[in-house]
């Protein structure tokens, strides 16, 4: 399943896949087996399963962002940059390579906002809101802070819909984000 070389990398990669696919309840035994690493080695590398959860979530972050966010040098308006996120969410969900936001899922499953995994989840959700806000400021929107939060809400609600219905989203994310951008006069 992996081309990573060190036990640490293999553990984090397996954890990222297994926790997202099967939930945070995946046990240390199954995790170590999937990674091809002994439990003893795991506990030499990480203090606890909670630390593996947090680090594997943090490890998912860059690829998740790269999959959703437009290239920084893409020739797009701020509005188009924002809508790219929703179009990609729609496409990745239809392709079956995204089923819900891994950070929201982690926070929902961990239940504890102080869990190190929940802290990582909060940080990455804030990255998305910050991205929207930066674009909205560039577009000179009236209240970029509030609208950035609203767009994050649309993103996460659309993710929830994908999970609950287990169907393609059929463009509802871009349509809803566009409605909010239109309402705010972001052209």
**Residue 48 φ then ψ, to 5°:** -160, 165
Kindly write down the DSSP assignment for every residue of 105-132, as one continuous string. HHHHHH--TTSHHHHHHHHHHHHHHHHH
| Closest CB to a copy of itself among residues 24, 37 | 24
Residue 116 token pair: 């190190």
What's the token pair of residue 72?
């920084």
Q: Out of 67, 69, 92, 180, which residue is the one contacting a copy of itself (CB under 8 A)? A: 180
User: Does residue 56 belong to the site contacting a copy of itself (CB under 8 A)?
Assistant: no
Kindly state the greatest CA–CA separation across the chain. Answer: 58
* Cβ 99 to a copy of itself shortest distance, Å: 8
Decide: is 25 part of the binding site for a copy of itself (CB under 8 A): yes
- The structure tokens listed for 125 are 């959700």
Q: Which is nearer to a copy of itself, 46 or 103 (CB)?
A: 103
Applying CB under 8 A, which residues contact a copy of itself?
A: 21-25, 100-101, 103-105, 107-109, 111, 113, 118, 121-122, 125, 146, 149-150, 152-161, 163-166, 172-173, 175-176, 179-180, 182-184
């Amino acid at each position: 399943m992996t081309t990573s070389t060190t036990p640490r990398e293999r553990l984090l990669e397996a954890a990222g896949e297994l926790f997202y696919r099967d939930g945070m309840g995946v046990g240390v035994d199954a995790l170590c087996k999937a990674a091809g690493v002994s439990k003893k080695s795991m506990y030499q590398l990480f203090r606890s399963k909670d630390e593996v959860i947090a680090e594997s979530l943090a490890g998912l972050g860059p690829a998740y962002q790269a999959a959703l966010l437009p290239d920084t040098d893409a020739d797009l308006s701020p509005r188009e940059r924002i809508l790219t996120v929703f179009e990609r969410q729609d496409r990745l969900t239809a392709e079956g390579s995204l089923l819900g936001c891994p950070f929201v899922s982690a926070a929902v499953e961990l239940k504890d906002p102080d869990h190190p995994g929940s802290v990582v989840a909060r940080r990455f959700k804030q990255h998305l809101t910050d991205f929207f806000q930066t674009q909205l400021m560039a577009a000179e929107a009236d209240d970029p802070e509030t609208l950035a939060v609203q767009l994050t809400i649309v993103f996460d609600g659309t993710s929830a819909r994908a999970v609950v219905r287990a169907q393609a989203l059929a463009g509802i994310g871009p349509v809803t984000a566009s409605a909010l951008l239109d309402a705010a006069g972001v052209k």
